[in-house]
Amino acid sequence: MSSKVIKGGTVVTADLSYPADVKIEDGVIVEIGKNLTGDEVLDATGCYVMPGGIDPHTHLEMPFMGTYSTDDFESGTRAGLAGGTTMVVDFCLPNPNQSLLEALQMWDNKTAKASADYSFHMAITWWGEQVFNEMAEVVDRGITTFKHFMAYKGSLMVDDDEMFSSFQRCADLGALPLVHAENGDVVAQMTAKLLAEGNNGPEGHAYSRPPEVEGEATNRAIMIADMAGVPLYVVHVSCEQSHEAIRRARAKGMRVFGEPLIQHLVLDESEYFNQDWDYAARRVMSPPFRNKQHQDSLWSGLASGSLQVVATDHCAFTTEQKRNGIGNFAKIPNGTGGLEDRMPLLWTKGVNTGRLTPNEFVAVTSTNIAKILNCYPKKGAILVGADADIVVWDPKRKKTISAASQQSIIDYNVFEGFEVEGLPRYVLTRGEVAIVEDKVDARPGHGQFVGREPRGAVNRALSTWKEITAPRKVQRSGIPATGV
Ligand code: DUC
Ligand code: ZN
Ligand code: ZN
Ligand code: ZN
């Protein structure tokens, strides 16, 4: 059996930094120590040897707003690998009244050319006995996270009744609910008003979704989760109002997690104002970019631990697709890319500025989410027995981000022109070398599904703490009269 040794680097985990060689056989780490030997040597001199990044929020080849997001599992996982990300978690979105299992089959069919490992979150886009029953089967298939859209009225949005029912079901199944927290009713009304007044340009998108819309929904979801007796994960936290709700809940003792995106950390609302139409429309995503005060709030949350994960919400549309919204900003497909740039940008803007330590960088790009999703230490770890998903990070390598050299197949990059310092020298996916500096050797089909177990005792919320010695019985069918 052939082996590889990553030699001469500094192992950096969420806890520790120490000089060591890392030996790999059969796709897993078999030894960590001094003076290791192997059949093939990868030189890590001057580099950090870190767990590969995990991006828990992508939309690859997703049907959305009348089109499909353009990066698929092939280009998306390749882009991830090029930037040090070795696992993505994509959202499976059933249509209203569609079987969750049928939707899952459709999503699974998209993954044949994935070059890095992947998992799924299941979205709850409608409610009924079928959904209640199928959620148990979805959990049995290793998908233990359920997403709820509080916005996109008329398509993906669920109301509080549906959300409360689903959250209670998640509690019973040991699953974690996720929310896209924006008040969809308020957004719909503000959108209609802006359009009626003739404000139809891309900046109208930002005006229609102010931070209050997000803060209100985040507070509401937290309270509903606590009443259902389940923790909560808030995706794409973009503003102080939402961060404040999460901080307050955590201070009270609730298990609430918050995920800012690299886009909101790095880009601000000036991207929408007094800009050329294409420029602004390419940056239309939900939630929209915010001002500097909100950005500072997100950075401080990552440093203090009140926010735990940096993701991308990678959902890439071409300029041509964005132009569907000329004359009506509500028809601009929402979404931006970021898979390739998340780690280099977070390193450059976070570690190089002193806002984050290298260990905190590992925590927020990989280890924390592996623990939350319950795939640690298979993923997110440099430990004997862990998958050899490894990035050998060269803190001195530089580049200028440009669409001309990106792996994403869209025609622009929202970070065009940003200088980054800190890039992969090598990226390994289960022991296979996919990236050597600028050389991309991602192998379509190599990526495998990562199934996850229910979360066990950590899936308790504050309101159910008293029940810790009397675990609930998992009910596999039939909607119970009450949630407990
Ligand atoms: N926001 C986006 O910008 N795109 C995809 C879905 C979402 O919530
Ligand atoms: Zn969202
Ligand atoms: Zn999303
Ligand atoms: Zn392989």
Walk along the chain (484 residues) and give the pLDDT tens digit of each residue: 799 999 999 999 999 999 999 999 999 999 999 999 999 999 999 999 999 999 999 999 999 999 999 999 999 999 999 999 999 999 999 999 999 999 999 999 999 999 999 999 999 999 999 999 999 999 999 999 999 999 999 999 999 999 999 999 999 999 999 999 999 999 999 999 999 999 999 999 999 999 999 999 999 999 999 999 999 999 999 999 999 999 999 999 999 999 999 999 999 999 999 999 999 999 999 999 999 999 999 999 999 999 999 999 999 999 999 999 999 999 999 999 999 999 999 999 999 999 999 999 999 999 999 999 999 999 999 999 999 999 999 999 999 999 999 999 999 999 999 999 999 999 999 999 999 999 999 999 999 999 999 998 889 888 776 554 555 555 565 554 443 3
- Per-residue burial over 328-337, b if 16 or more Cβ lie within 10 Å, else e, is ebbebbbbbb
How many C-beta atoms lie closer than 10 Å to residue 367's C-beta? 25
Nearest CA, atom 8, ligand 1:
286
Please indicate whether residue 180, judged by its CB atom, sits closer than 6 Å to ligand 1: yes
27 Cα to the center of ligand 4, angstroms: 8
Please indicate whether residue 59, judged by its CB atom, sits closer than 6 Å to ligand 1: yes
**How does DSSP assign 227-284, residue by residue?**
HHT--EEE-S--SHHHHHHHHHHHHHT--EEE--BHHHHH--GGGTTT--HHHHHHT-
Please indicate whether residue 182, judged by its CB atom, sits closer than 6 Å to ligand 1: no
113 Cα to the center of ligand 4, angstroms: 12
User: Which residue out of 55, 58, 59 has the highest number of ligand 1 atoms within 8 Å of its CB and is therefore the one to mutate?
Assistant: 59
Residue 198: which region, alpha, beta or left (left: phi > 0; alpha: psi -120 to 50)?
A: left
* CA atoms within 13 A of residue 68's CA, in its CB half-sphere: 8
> Beta-strand (E) ranges in 52-116?
53-58, 63-64, 67-68, 85-92
Please indicate whether residue 265, judged by its CB atom, sits closer than 6 Å to ligand 1: no
Distance CA 230, CA 224 (A): 9
61 Cα to the center of ligand 4, angstroms: 23
pLDDT for res 59:
98
Please indicate whether residue 263, judged by its CB atom, sits closer than 6 Å to ligand 1: no
From the CA of 336, give the closest atom in ligand 1: 3
Please indicate whether residue 173, judged by its CB atom, sits closer than 6 Å to ligand 1: no
Tokens describing residue 92: 């499976």
Among residues 153, 65, 167, 186, which one has the least CA distance to residue 124?
Answer: 167
CB-based burial label for 465 (10 Å; 0-12, 13-18, 19+): exposed
DSSP at 405: G
User: Which residue out of 236, 264, 290 has the highest number of ligand 1 atoms within 8 Å of its CB and is therefore the one to mutate?
Assistant: 236
Please indicate whether residue 334, judged by its CB atom, sits closer than 6 Å to ligand 1: yes
443 Cα to the center of ligand 4, angstroms: 8
pLDDT for res 484:
33
Distance CA 50, CA 13 (A): 6
Please indicate whether residue 389, judged by its CB atom, sits closer than 6 Å to ligand 1: no
Do 285 and 313 contact (CB within 8 A), yes or no?
A: yes
Distance CA 419, CA 422 (A): 10
pLDDT for res 481:
41
> What CATH homologous superfamily does 52-383+395-421+452-462 map to?
Metal-dependent hydrolases (3.20.20.140)
Provide the residue ranges of all domains of the chain, joining segments of one domain with +: 52-383+395-421+452-462
- Of the listed ligands, the closest to the CA of 65 is 1
User: Which residue out of 334, 410, 414 has the highest number of ligand 1 atoms within 8 Å of its CB and is therefore the one to mutate?
Assistant: 334
From the CA of 180, give the closest atom in ligand 1: 8
From the CA of 62, give the closest atom in ligand 1: 5
155 Cα to the center of ligand 1, angstroms: 13
- Of the listed ligands, the closest to the CA of 27 is 4
312 Cα to the center of ligand 1, angstroms: 10
Please indicate whether residue 92, judged by its CB atom, sits closer than 6 Å to ligand 1: no
Distance CA 400, CA 416 (A): 8
Nearest CA, atom 5, ligand 1:
335
- Angle between helix axes 129-140 and 100-109 (nearest 10 degrees) is 40
